[in-house]
A and B are shown apart, each in its own frame.
Chain A
Amino acid sequence: MAKQRQSKEAFPATQMTWINARLDEGVKGRRDVAQHLMEVYAEPLRIYLLGSSFRSAGEPEELINGFFANRLAREDYLEGWRASEKRLRRWLINGLIFYIKEEFRRQKRGGSPLSEEAEANLEDPEDQYRAFDQAWAASIVRRAMSEAAARCKEEDLEAHWDIFVRHHVQQQPYAVCCQDHGVDAARAAVMARTAATRFREAVRDQVSLDGADETKIDDELAGLRSLLQ
């Protein structure tokens, strides 16, 4: 018990605040957390499965849907994660592997086991963590873009966000993307800078939600970037 309390306190405030607030809401809050997990982690998990020996276990989408439905229906599943001090993405990968192995055992008992060859190949493919982390990086960037776009809309900064996307994602020069907004290139650069601050906070929130300590977020971002080189 003491260990569990200590582990929970070790989590950064922003992550604890959001997760705790949702979990304290009961069923609805857990649905919000589940929604977040599916939106951010499903695609990286799918890519992980496709590159691993587990790809023979079934359709990745079905396995992932089954995994989320099974594990997230358990009230104590995220409590286990918080006590573990693991990053959320590692917790979910391990959970997915355990889930697939459980499914194998269940199929065996039910008389429709996997082939011996497929079962013999089941292992935890460490090298696939790289592909998973690359996919997770893209996933949190997409999520952060979605949140930053919504934030900009709320603040009447939609033009700022549009210029940010055109310049930083579509690689248009400011001199081009400013034209639809009736501003010059210099103003467009400042508008993108404003949108970038919203995006920056959204990315850092996503990394924090994965369980990274506030002081380690820059290290985490640097690690992810090195994986993308």
Chain B
Amino acid sequence: MMTPAPTTSYKPDPDSNLDHSTVSHLLGMAAGPPVRPADALAVRMQGDDGQAWAIKTLAKPPIEDLDNKSLLKPPVDLETLRLLHRMGKRHFHDAKDGDEQHAGLLWYLTAIAIAMVDHDELLSSQPRQEVVDAILVVADALPNPWRARLEAVDT
């Protein structure tokens, strides 16, 4: 059985003026795994089930009895954030698989972000700009209202 012939004719792309150097540079950006953990987490949240995974993860903070909605209402208690930061870090290091590691990093960065926004307190020993960059990369991949909450580190 024959299917109908495609009807779309070939038309040269008017924007096909990428030179070899630019194409090579852009292909280079696609090569290799994302090196930084925050980039890997952002990629995880862009996958087919990424947004559902993020929502499910954020629904269960790694602290017993902590309601995740309370994290969206500033100001969040600083000691709670310090504990959340420690728990996230522990989950990241003790993770048995990639998703557990991503979840640990997500809580770790969330705690740092909220502490910066609500208390101007840097919980991490990493350079402030490096931490802010990582938070923003992750924030860009999050659904709202979490995206907006983390993006506030940039204001």
Q: A73 to chain B: which residues have CB within 8 Å?
A: 2-6
A141 within 8 A of B: yes
Point out the residue from B12, B30, B140 that lies within 8 Å of A221, measured CB to CB: B30
Point out the residue from A68, A134, A142, A196 that lies within 8 Å of B6, measured CB to CB: A68
Instruction: Given A73-B3, A141-B23, decide whether A198 and B46 contact each other with a Cβ distance below 8 A.
Output: yes
Which residue of B is nearest A29, CB measured? B3
Report B13-46 residues with CB < 8 Å from chain A CB.
13, 15-16, 18, 20-32, 34, 39, 42-43, 46
Q: Give chain B nearest CB distance to A173 CB in angstroms.
A: 15
B8 within 8 A of A: yes
Report A122-144 residues with CB < 8 Å from chain B CB.
134, 137-138, 141-142, 144
Which residue of A is nearest B24, CB measured? A228
Instruction: Given A142-B13, A169-B26, decide whether A38 and B8 contact each other with a Cβ distance below 8 A.
Output: yes
| A168/B1 in contact, CB under 8 A | no
Instruction: Given A168-B29, A197-B42, decide whether A138 and B16 contact each other with a Cβ distance below 8 A.
Output: yes
Point out the residue from B4, B10, B15, B22 that lies within 8 Å of A42, measured CB to CB: B10
| B20/A134 in contact, CB under 8 A | yes
Q: B16 to chain A: which residues have CB within 8 Å?
A: 43, 138, 142
| B46/A224 in contact, CB under 8 A | no
Q: Please tell me which stretch of A1-9, A87-95, A187-195 contacts chain B, meaning at least 4 of its Cβ atoms lie within 8 angstroms of it.
A: A187-195
Q: B154 to chain A: which residues have CB within 8 Å?
A: 183, 187
| A43/B23 in contact, CB under 8 A | no
B141 within 8 A of A: yes
| A222/B31 in contact, CB under 8 A | yes
Which residue of B is nearest A63, CB measured? B10
Q: A198 to chain B: which residues have CB within 8 Å?
A: 46
| A225/B28 in contact, CB under 8 A | yes
Which residue of B is nearest A184, CB measured? B154
| A61/B10 in contact, CB under 8 A | yes
Please measure, in the bound complex, the distance between the C-alpha atom of A27 and the C-alpha atom of B5, giving whole angstroms.
10
Instruction: Given A38-B8, A75-B1, decide whether A169 and B43 contact each other with a Cβ distance below 8 A.
Output: no
B76 within 8 A of A: no
Q: B21 to chain A: which residues have CB within 8 Å?
A: 228
Chain B residues within CB distance 8 Å of chain A: 1-6, 8-10, 12-13, 15-16, 18, 20-32, 34, 39, 42-43, 46, 129, 132-133, 136-137, 140-141, 154
A102 within 8 A of B: no
Please measure, in the bound complex, the distance between the C-alpha atom of A134 and the C-alpha atom of B13, giving whole angstroms.
16
Known: A157-B140, A168-B26, A183-B154. 8 other contacts (CB 8 A): A34-B8, A141-B26, A186-B129, A187-B154, A193-B133, A194-B140, A200-B34, A225-B24
A to B CB contacts below 8 Å, 11 in the list: A38-B10, A43-B10, A68-B6, A138-B18, A138-B20, A144-B30, A187-B136, A190-B133, A203-B29, A221-B31, A222-B31
Q: Give chain A nearest CB distance to B18 CB in angstroms.
A: 5
Q: Give chain B nearest CB distance to A196 CB in angstroms.
A: 6
| A69/B26 in contact, CB under 8 A | no
Q: B13 to chain A: which residues have CB within 8 Å?
A: 43, 142
| B43/A201 in contact, CB under 8 A | yes
A229 within 8 A of B: yes
Q: Give chain B nearest CB distance to A102 CB in angstroms.
A: 16
Instruction: Given A74-B2, A201-B46, decide whether A221 and B8 contact each other with a Cβ distance below 8 A.
Output: no
Q: A27 to chain B: which residues have CB within 8 Å?
A: 3-4
Q: B32 to chain A: which residues have CB within 8 Å?
A: 218
Q: Give chain B nearest CB distance to A142 CB in angstroms.
A: 6
Please measure, in the bound complex, the distance between the C-alpha atom of A194 and the C-alpha atom of B39, giving whole angstroms.
8
Binary contact readout A14-43 vs B (1 if CB under 8 angstroms, 0 otherwise) = 000000000000010011001100100011
